[in-house]
Structure 1
Amino acid sequence: MKRALVVIDVQNEYVSGNLPIGYPNVDHSLKNIAAAMDAAAEAGIPVVIIQHAAPEASPIFARGSDGFALHEIVTSRPYDHLVEKTLASSFALTGLADWLATHEIDTLAIVGYMTQNCDESTARDAMDRGFAVEFLSDATGTLAMSNRVGALTAEELHRAVLVVMQSHFASVGTTSEWIDAVRGGASLEKPNIFSSTEAGREAARA
């Protein structure tokens, strides 16, 4: 196994801008992102920073704005590669796949924002490309959503995505569990769609 830590869109927009993370608490997730980056550096795991960019007139992530800027929790730490993206998946229209191939990476650990958008899109894309994926539950986060279809709290949305990730797309674990796995040369529990759906049916019958 050769890991890379992918730090997705840890930008001011999610902390002091127009998309304030609601769950988990943003200070808590930032602390865990920092811990994951520190553990990766200690273990010699490459750290890839992803930065989302939008046109200057955009209300979010406008290139050159404070919201576009990487948060200091990221900029104050070393990293190995920076990728700028304009779509949800970190692979879309970027050179990320080539960089990972060059460095013989086969496992991606995902932290950052938002859980159901760029994090999930990257995780699904990575799995389809043959990578093993790890998704750090307390180093990711999102905010409440409401539209003509319905409404979800930030916690409901975050937890639902974690369940889906662990069912098929990624190994979900806390930052502490991931750091222990890194230091022990171990893997997180692998996803299993059959066991997840079987447990779901049993819970529904209870």
Structure 2
Amino acid sequence: MNRALVVIDVQESFRVRPSWRVVGDPEIGKAVQRLVDAARAAGDLVVWVLHAEPGSGNPFDPASGHVRLFDGLDRRPDEPLVTKTSRNAFTTTNLQQVLTTHRVRELTLCGIQTEQCVETTARVGGDLGYDVTFVTDATTTFPIAHRDAPADLTPEQLVADPRTLPVDAVVSRTEYALAGRFATIRTVAELTGS
């Protein structure tokens, strides 16, 4: 086995926040599960990553009970689970040790948020010498407020602000930034054959 699917932050913490109302793909769990099923069928390692912010009092605080995989995602007991406290899945975890132990050289990445934790993991993975595949349609994210926008915008106000970067533009920018540099961009259909 020299390949791993790394599922990043597909966790209930996101679904309980008001911003979930404007997420790009609220059904992201279905695309992720298709990749998980295909990886298992191919004999690839599946690694699950959760993001935690201990002591924060927000939905990413483990005390909230929301730092867990989406309901319906099917993690097997023999599949590694790492919990990170940084944007990328390497810096604050033993992910590289897990991958080295399993002799993984190729990573397929999916999860939440496209331009944050998933993209950052792709960049670090590429720098570490992994052959990275970024499955854009198995990631999702949120519109991004302009740097001068008030911090307390509701999701609806965020979307209505003409300065807001919409989800499709965020995803496109991520693909441009990664392709040919840090990762190969693929789709769920290309990787699963369906």
The answer for the alignment partner of 1:107 in structure 2 is 106
Code of the residue aligned with 2:13 in structure 1: it is E
CA separation in 1, counterparts of 2:18 and 2:67?
11
Code of the residue aligned with 1:37 in structure 2: it is V
CA contact (8 A) 1:21 1:142 kept: no
Q: Deviations over 1:137-185 (max 9, x none)?
A: 11001001114255311121112101221131111111110123xx9xx
Q: Mapping of 1:1-206 within 5 angstroms?
A: 2-20=2-20, 22=22, 24-27=24-27, 29-74=28-73, 76-78=74-76, 80-148=79-147, 151-180=164-193
Query: How far 1:17 moved relative to its partner?
Result: 2.7
Q: Deviations over 1:87-109 (max 9, x none)?
A: 00100121111111111000000
Code of the residue aligned with 1:158 in structure 2: it is V
2:29 is paired with a residue of what secondary structure?
A: helix
Would you identify which runs of 4 or more consecutive aligned residues in structure 1 move more than 3 Å? 21-24
The answer for the alignment partner of 1:202 in structure 2 is none
Cα-Cα RMSD = 2.0
TM-score, normalised to structure 1's length? 0.80
CA contact (8 A) 2:8 2:48 kept: yes
TM-score, normalised to structure 2's length? 0.84
Code of the residue aligned with 1:83 in structure 2: it is V
CA separation in 2, counterparts of 1:100 and 1:50?
13
Unaligned residue ranges in structure 2 (runs of 5+): 149-162
Higher helix share: 1
Distance 1:22 1:110, change over 3 A: farther
Q: How many residues align?
A: 179
CA contact (8 A) 1:123 1:133 kept: yes
Code of the residue aligned with 1:141 in structure 2: it is T
CA separation in 2, counterparts of 1:17 and 1:34?
22
CA contact (8 A) 1:21 1:141 kept: no
Code of the residue aligned with 1:7 in structure 2: it is V
Q: Deviations over 1:18-48 (max 9, x none)?
A: 4427454221x22110100011111111100
CA contact (8 A) 1:11 1:69 kept: yes
State the structure with bigger RCO (CA 8 A, min sep 6), 1 or 2.
2
Distance 1:23 1:116, change over 3 A: same
Q: Deviations over 1:114-142 (max 9, x none)?
A: 01110011000000000000011110010
